[in-house]
Structure 1
Amino acid sequence: MSSPASRPVPPAAASQINLHGAVDLSSLKQRPAPAAPPSGPAPGAPGAPGEAPGAHPLRVTVTEANFQQLVELSAQVPVVFALWAGYSPASGALLDVLEQIIESYAGRLVLGTADIEAFPQLAQAFQVQAVPTAVAVVKGQPVPLFQGGAEEQQVRALLDELLKVAAANGVTGQLDAVAAETEAGPAPLPPLHQAAFDAIEAGDYAAAAAAYRQALLEMPADAEAKAGLAQVELMARLQELSGPDADALRQLAADQPDNLDAQLGVADLDIAGGHIEDGLNRIVSFIGRNFGPERETARIRLLELFDVVGTSDDRVAKARQGLARVLF
């Protein structure tokens, strides 16, 4: 983490941060927020004023309309702002990591994701020099965290220190997002996600894939669309494999270990059948034995299957280690 593109605040320094005047957010706080619809808070808002703490989600898309509510929420729990942009390849990976980590803190932190191309005033207020950048807000005051990509262990160390800073300033709340979802029901899906879901229900996997691809064009860091696309593409491939065809494919893969299509097809069958390690290891082994375009095709398919299984799954972590060994 010593490169200029990735500059975390050392935990020792973070624990001594003074929450007074690091960055001036007053211009944003004073901006009049657009009026919310009569039916409730603006989409993505953490909740209506006076709403019980349990009604807040743990990941919020930051907009001009809900920014002030998030600043106010930082008096209950620290809010981590992840500033990203579609032109930054590292942004999507960082958002995935942050979301998984913050969920593990069980409501003691909230993640606000902000597209600086859609909300440039926020980047200016936080004095962002590059994306992705993570900045926390505690009691309305910003606490710089890091710039660029970051490893999970380092992010957790910084967030642990952030919670100490928050506690020292009387911010010790905990939100109950699970209870909120049970009481209020799940939030409606974004339009393109709903279109994909409807297409899947109708068995039209091509239409579902098209909807997810459009969602990714509009928001490249949309982790749910990325995972959804990988899943429907797997479902489409499996549609063509059943019964005797599947048996024949397994035999072909056994007879021809360097047949790319056979190995990828059997890996799909293994993943769908719950044999996750077998499916992932099959492709890792193929990559270790082969070079050139076929190796790259297999690597891309492996990354897609990581999204299908879930990037936080232990079996994916092991397969990533295996992939690193055969590549490097």
Structure 2
Amino acid sequence: MASMGLSIDEQKAVDRFRKGVVEPSMTNLVILDFWAEWCGPCKALTPVLEKVAADYADKGVVLAKINVDEEQFIAAQFQVRSIPTVYAMFQGQPVADLTNARSESQLKGMLDQLLAKLPIQPGGAPAQDIAPLLAMGEDVLAGGDAERAASIFAQILEIAPDNGPAHAGLIRAMLAAGEVDSAQQLVDALPPELAGDAEIVRAKAALELAKDKPEDSELAALRLAAEADPADMAAQLAYATAAFAAGNRDAAAETLLAMIAADRTWNEGAARAKLLQIFEAVGLEDPWVAAMRRRLSIILFG
């Protein structure tokens, strides 16, 4: 979860989250419980979570609790709409929604499935070794060297073939290199158990958007059509979609925000849906997304 572009209080919240959740999740499976003092169901669930975490401690399971009243920014990043909300976190990413597991047997059953699939090492060495490589790959990709980033993610997969973030990073690196067909082949070859991984979902969203990439002449024509008639919502949406696929996320977001401001209900909220798809593809922790989400909130809620 990035801290650039945030207020001081938000940065402090992110730092607390990193220390309390992200860092432990690099070598353990963290049960992340969103709760509040006033929540009756939360209080009923707490003893179950604490007991299971204690029973599974030697398997690398730990419990982290987030008070939604005290950590509203973190709760908002996870789009928590009701409590209790419970996630399983591994290597800084949610890997399963445990909210519906209200009994000890249900929770243990879901944890057993996750522990069988994930390279949890209570000692921590293998997972800890991978984390810096993942960070390196992301930094290189953000710096624009897609080929080198792809090489780094591929090396990680040689060490940890089932690592979701590494698969996702490789897919996004291929997209950045313009290799859409190769990225699709990577997605098609993914193990079924990784389908719900948050980073994989993000990579798939990026892939779907990249498929709309137009030729330069087509993009220019779409831009001219959108500029010629700002009231033509279909033309605006077509240009925004193409602009993002062509790598101009600012133009895409500006167009979609203008559409939402003009008529948020057009085509069953198509502009907002497209903007949220872009947010998912870029990554909800990205500072650019955070800034655009604030602008969207101002439009929607004043």
| Larger Rg belongs to | 1
Higher relative contact order (CA 8 A, sep 6+): 1
What is the TM-score of this pair, normalised by structure 1?
0.45
**Comparing both structures, which one devotes a greater share of its residues to helix?**
2
What is the TM-score of this pair, normalised by structure 2?
0.48
